[in-house]
């Protein structure tokens, strides 16, 4: 069993879980297991071509998988995987953030619905 740490911004797509346990042989399999349990996470982690997004870093324990065997990195029992997205938070005020963001009306699904980002 490996434990995947879900960062706060992505928890809304993972039924609010902070960690998810999966049975998997590699980091890639663990992430596949994660998005099949929580399909809403997929578009935040992967591109349409099925590649991990560039702004999502994945760590096995304290090491970046880019410097291991990437998604093929083997897992041991009790390993912990962390997803570390870039976060923009500082001390912003609600409306300052709204000014900085363009709202994409072309996507049918609202991508984000928080007062900090959108309103």
Binding site for other proteins (CB under 8 A): 7-12, 18, 43-44, 53-57, 59, 62-64, 67, 82, 84-98, 100-105, 107-119
Nearer to other proteins, 50 or 90 (CB): 90
- Minimum CB separation of residue 31 from other proteins in Å reads 15
Please state, in angstroms and rounded to a whole number, the distance separating the CA atoms of residues 25 and 29. Answer: 6
| 100 Ramachandran zone, left/alpha/beta (phi>0; psi -120 to 50) | alpha
DSSP 96: H
- Minimum CB separation of residue 113 from other proteins in Å reads 4
Cβ-proximal residues to 65 (8 Å cutoff; 6+ apart), any chain: 27, 58, 59, 71, 73
Could you give the C-alpha distances from 45 to 94, 97, 107, in angstroms and in order? 26, 23, 18
- Minimum CB separation of residue 76 from other proteins in Å reads 18
- Minimum CB separation of residue 65 from other proteins in Å reads 11
């Amino acid at each position: 069993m490996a434990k995947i740490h879900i960062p706060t911004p992505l928890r809304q797509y993972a039924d609010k879980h902070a960690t998810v346990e999966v049975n998997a042989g590699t980091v890639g399999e663990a992430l596949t297991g994660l998005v099949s349990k929580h399909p809403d996470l997929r578009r935040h982690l992967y591109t349409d071509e099925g590649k991990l997004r560039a702004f999502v870093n994945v760590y096995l324990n304290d090491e970046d998988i880019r410097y291991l065997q990437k998604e093929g990195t083997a897992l041991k029992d009790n390993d912990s995987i962390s997803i570390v997205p870039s976060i923009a938070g500082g001390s912003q005020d609600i409306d300052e953030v709204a000014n900085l963001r363009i709202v994409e009306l072309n996507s049918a699904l609202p991508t984000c619905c928080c007062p900090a980002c959108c309103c």
